[in-house]
Amino acid sequence: MEITFWGVRGSIPAPGPETNRYGGNTSCVAVRSERGELVILDAGTGIVNLGKKMMTQEFGQGRGEATILLSHAHWDHIQGFPFFVPVLIVGNRFTIYGPSRSSGMLEGILEGQMNPHFSPLYTLKNMGAALEIHAVGDGETFEAGGLKVTGRLNPHGTTKALAYRIEEKSRSMVYASDCGYPASGPTPEVLSLYRGADVLVHDCTYTPEDRAERLGRGFSSIADAVGAACRAQVKRLVMFHYDQDYADEQIDAMGERTRHLLDESGGKNIKLTAAAEGLTLRL
């Protein structure tokens, strides 16, 4: 399994000279299986550059097939979708999963951003590619591109976001963005989703101090991420979904602080990576 980061920011894109190293695009991570199947986690603005790369492959000829797993439908997780060129090409096929009470409701949410008030594309039906849309229930397991996928809901402010565990043979990665845990941390069910993962990509929106001031927004601090990683005994923690106001140097400092927190919390053996656009991890 190969994991590539195309967008690592939270809430809103943050382009500019101060964010060049980690990147300013919002959430998008590509997972490629050993057999070459593609699973895309979230469709923030990072998916636009991923789409350009995909157009040089079979997707440019209308012969591509991929799965998109949405954590939830806040803008920073869907806003790249109308500008994701492979979806405009007739012949390509996408299966989209996300949290909702029904598949029809999820389709309605995605259709909402195509409304002519927001987009010249007018409707999802003008996208060209074939789209299949499925709602994912809490704890549901399904197969996507030959990979085993399980979804679990986390609280996220006034809504919920799905965390996904993706497994291929004995390898596993977990994507847990936008997690606003209560003081007690993740539920036992969510901890078991994270348990022993080779890679846990986890919401690290804030420093603990900034999170304390913005509790209602439903994001994690680096301390929350460390707590989840240690309790679930994962092998590597990947920091993700940084606040749009943090410059590269602030994220460097957050990385150092996260390493200290891991060492102090019984996570000395847990490897640490700060996600950046263009980074690829191989399992």
Rg (CA), the chain: 18
How many residues are listed for the chain in this entry?
A: 283
Q: How far apart are CA 66 and CA 145, in angstroms?
A: 7
Q: Phi and psi of 204, rounded to 5°?
A: -135, 55
Contact 2, 276 (CB under 8 A): no
Interface contacts to Zn ion, rule CB under 5 A: 10, 76, 178
- Toward Zn ion, which CB reaches closer, 202 or 259? 202
- Toward Zn ion, which CB reaches closer, 55 or 179? 179
DSSP 221: B
Quote the least distance from Cβ 114 to Zn ion, whole Å. 20
Quote the least distance from Cβ 203 to Zn ion, whole Å. 8
Quote the least distance from Cβ 115 to Zn ion, whole Å. 21
- Toward Zn ion, which CB reaches closer, 198 or 243? 243
Quote the least distance from Cβ 178 to Zn ion, whole Å. 4
Q: How far apart are CA 103 and CA 22, in angstroms?
A: 34
Instruction: Give the residue closest to Zn ion by C-beta.
Output: 76
- Count helices and strands in the chain by DSSP H and E runs: 7, 14
Quote the least distance from Cβ 74 to Zn ion, whole Å. 5
Q: Indicate the residue type of 86.
A: P
Contact 237, 258 (CB under 8 A): yes
- Toward Zn ion, which CB reaches closer, 178 or 277? 178
Write down the residue that tokens 């469709």 correspond to. 43
Q: Which two tokens stand for residue 111?
A: 């259709």
Q: How far apart are CA 227 and CA 103, in angstroms?
A: 34
- Toward Zn ion, which CB reaches closer, 107 or 178? 178
Quote the least distance from Cβ 113 to Zn ion, whole Å. 15
- Toward Zn ion, which CB reaches closer, 194 or 219? 219
Contact 40, 69 (CB under 8 A): yes
